[in-house]
Amino acid sequence: MPILTVENLSKFYGPVHALKNVSFSVPEGTVFGILGPNGSGKTTTLGTITDILKPTSGSYRLFDEPASAASRRRIGSLLETPNFYHYLSGKKNLEIAAAIKQHGKEDIDRVLETVDLTQRKNSKFSTYSLGMKQRLAIASCLLGNPNVLIFDEPTNGLDPVGIAEIRELMKELHHQGKTIIMASHLLDEVEKVCTHVAILKNGELITSGKVNEILSGEDIIEVAASDNKKLFEILLKMNAGIKVIDESPAIKIFFPPGKADLAVVNSYCFNNGIILNHLMLKRKSLEARFFELTNN
Amino acid sequence: MLQLLKIEWLKVKNYKAFWIFTILYLVAILGINYTGFYTNSLTVQNLPASQIVLGSPYSFPKVWQTVGFMSSWLLYFPGILFIMLLTNEFNFKTHRQNIIDGWERKEFIDVKFVFALLFSLIATLFNFLVALLFGLITTGSHFSFEGIENVGYIFIQTTAYIMFAMFLAILLRKSGAAIAVFFLYGLIFEWLLTVLINFKLNLEPVGYFLPLQVTDVMLPIPFGTKVIYKNASDTWILTIAGIIYILGYYFFALKKFTKDDL
């Protein structure tokens, strides 16, 4: 059962076309990253599925049903910024969130402990640091142990230790079988915690699918010999990989992911009378792949 | 609704400004009426002939109307309070979070208006007690339910002022702007409009049907019978108009909050 299905979602802010016919689906038990640069429509997408924005056209379903307040109560959501009553303590704020989600108070101490805020639970929200506010927002998402979580830039404002803790928490939640939908502009974050990804750019969905399929670039074998010109000719005849480019002092052979075999290249060159003085397997960096995708 | 009200109570219970405004407001109701009561008795004491004009505003049955009239000047207090309760939500973006966490958009508006209604009810009850107190301590005054309908008008007026303030808060979203418009409109521009409509354009009583004015006319100054609002419509017509305004604020808020982006 897909947890979330988005169908042809479009959104205008006045003349600005913030989302253009976006469709994707989030399978159960995945960590689904919505990746894109600032202003690409990530928060607009999440705002729509949490009913704080009205789409211009298109529809979405939660838990394979038409979305409702009841379906939102089954999801822990953190959108954009931590939104709490400044004059109330962290604990009192969670009591309100728990009451809206129709849970009792029994879970509050557990979630505060999870995000390491027990010590400051009775301090006013307005006295919290940015990182503590973010952690309180994550605690609020965890109330009632929901099976689906929505995180918009979950590591925003956290220090490196906090970032590591939250990523660990997300992995832990994933292990428990929960579905996590998160927006991020941090490629490295998506790569580290997500199983699936949808890439947005200027409100358009560029691609979506499994992280290791979408973000894995080609494999590249770099070779060099004393006579690169001859080596290049021989490699062209070999007809291996996708393409061969002479970038002396090294020649690059491009393969689909997982198809590069150093031994095959080495023995082929040797059998054709060329001794390689350089042989190396390189993976195209994720950044390069991401820029390639978003520059199309 | 009880569940929603419990949550609304969690929001205001620990909000200092709520208690300060509420207590000041209630004390001020007592204070302004004591001032009126005391000034009246002094005037009559020093100038017995003045009683012909003044009557005995703090005796039964007049006291119900007198207290309503005097207290009506204080309605800006709860108005500001409810502007703050709403604009706080917009400032903190908790109006979004409440929806994200699982409220219907309609529930957010419903509970705010029901809470305002309960607040008006308590303010009315307090006015009733204050009127009872001054009526009983006035010499020569005997308890009577005559004129008790004025307590009903107090309720409608309090509700109309508070909900007009809420309407401004939802329309303008910024507390400063909403409070400024509330004061300028209520204290200056509405009077100006009333005068212009009624006397410049000779459309009396149309000018009495402006949103706050209509409830002010229900509780006129308790002496000099019908000098100010000479050609005002019957009170029952004003009452209906007041209720229509109240419903109008609610449906406007509901429509805006359920249709727009938050």
For residue B257, pLDDT over 70 is answered with: yes
> Per the structure block, which two tokens stand in for A292?
């390639």
Q: Tell me: do A236 and A190 sit in the same domain.
A: no
Predicted confidence band at B72 (pLDDT cuts at 50, 70, 90)? very high
Span B233-258, average pLDDT:
94
For residue B191, pLDDT over 60 is answered with: yes
Can you give A13-79 as a three-state secondary structure string? ECCEEEEEEEEEEEECCCEEEEECCCCCCHHHHHHHHCCCCCCCEEEEEECCEECCHHHHHCEEEEC
Q: Tell me: do A154 and A172 sit in the same domain.
A: yes
Q: Check CB contact of B104 with chain A, cutoff 8 Å.
A: yes
Last residue of a domain, one of A214, A235, A266: A214
Q: Which residue has the tokens 């699918």?
A: A209
Distances (CA, A) of A119 to A114, A115, A137, A161, B25: 12, 11, 16, 18, 38
Our count of domains for chain B comes to 1
Q: Tell me: do A197 and A236 sit in the same domain.
A: no
Q: What is the pLDDT of residue A284?
A: 66
Distances (CA, A) of B136 to A63, B37, B130, B144: 65, 12, 10, 10
Span B151-163, average pLDDT:
96
In tens digits, what is the pLDDT along chain A, a chain of 296 residues? 899 999 999 999 989 999 999 999 999 999 999 998 888 899 999 999 999 999 999 999 999 999 999 999 999 999 988 999 999 999 999 999 999 999 988 899 999 999 999 999 999 999 999 889 999 999 999 999 999 999 998 888 788 988 888 888 899 999 999 999 999 888 888 888 899 999 898 899 988 888 877 776 677 888 898 888 888 888 888 877 778 888 878 888 888 777 778 888 888 888 888 888 898 887 666 666 677 777 65
Predicted confidence band at B75 (pLDDT cuts at 50, 70, 90)? very high
Predicted confidence band at B12 (pLDDT cuts at 50, 70, 90)? very high
Bridge partners, residue A278, by sequence: A224
**Which residue segment(s) compose the domain that B163 sits in?**
2-259
Residues B77, B21 contacting (CB under 8 angstroms): yes
The overall average pLDDT reported for chain B is 92
Residues A58, A122 contacting (CB under 8 angstroms): no
Chain A contacts to B (CB-CB under 8 A): 47, 50-54, 69-70, 72-73, 77, 79, 81, 83-89, 92, 95-97, 99-102, 140
Q: Tell me: do A257 and A200 sit in the same domain.
A: no
**Is B100–A51 a contact, with Cβ atoms under 8 angstroms apart?**
yes
**Which residue segment(s) compose the domain that A274 sits in?**
219-294
The percentage of residues in chain B with a pLDDT greater than 90, rounded to a whole number, is: 74
DSSP B27-44: HHHHHHHHHHHHHHHHHH
Number of H helices, E strands in chain B: 12, 0
Q: Indicate the DSSP class of residue B222.
A: S
Torsion of CA A216, A217, A223, A227, to 10 degrees: 170
Distance CA B2, CA A288 (A): 56
Q: What ipTM, to 2 d.p.? A: 0.89
Span B94-117, average pLDDT:
96
Q: Tell me: do A194 and A282 sit in the same domain.
A: no
**Is A96–B14 a contact, with Cβ atoms under 8 angstroms apart?**
no
Q: Tell me: do A205 and A225 sit in the same domain.
A: no
- Nearest Cα residue to B239 out of B124, B156, B148: B156
**Is A83–B10 a contact, with Cβ atoms under 8 angstroms apart?**
no
Distance CA B167, CA B152 (A): 22
- Chain A residues whose CB is inside 8 A of the B15 CB are 85, 87-88
Q: What is the pLDDT of residue A287?
A: 66
Angle B167-B173-B175 (CA atoms, 0-180°, nearest 5)? 95
Which range among A111-120, B51-60, B241-250 shows the weakest confidence by mean pLDDT? Answer: B51-60
Q: Tell me: do A142 and A175 sit in the same domain.
A: yes
Last residue of a domain, one of A185, A214, A243: A214
Determine if the pTM surpasses 0.90.
no
> Per the structure block, which two tokens stand in for A289?
């792949």
Q: Tell me: do A27 and A121 sit in the same domain.
A: yes
Q: Check CB contact of B94 with chain A, cutoff 8 Å.
A: yes
Residues A216, A196 contacting (CB under 8 angstroms): no
Q: What is the pLDDT of residue B204?
A: 82
> Phi first, then psi: what are they for A198, rounded to 5°?
-120, 130
- Chain B residues whose CB is inside 8 A of the A18 CB are none
Q: Tell me: do A158 and A231 sit in the same domain.
A: no
- Chain A residues whose CB is inside 8 A of the B98 CB are 100
Cis peptide preceding A154, ω within 30 of 0: no
Our count of domains for chain A comes to 2
Span B49-70, average pLDDT:
88
Q: Tell me: do A210 and A224 sit in the same domain.
A: no
Distance CA A289, CA A287 (A): 5
Q: Tell me: do A43 and A148 sit in the same domain.
A: yes
Q: What's the CATH code of the domain at A244?
A: 3.30.70.100
For residue B227, pLDDT over 70 is answered with: no
Which range among B126-140, B142-156, B226-240 shows the weakest confidence by mean pLDDT? Answer: B226-240
Q: What is the pLDDT of residue A37?
A: 84
Q: What is the pLDDT of residue A182?
A: 93
Q: What is the pLDDT of residue A259?
A: 77
Span B111-133, average pLDDT:
97
Sequence letter at residue A177: G
Distances (CA, A) of A256 to A239, A243, B144: 14, 10, 95
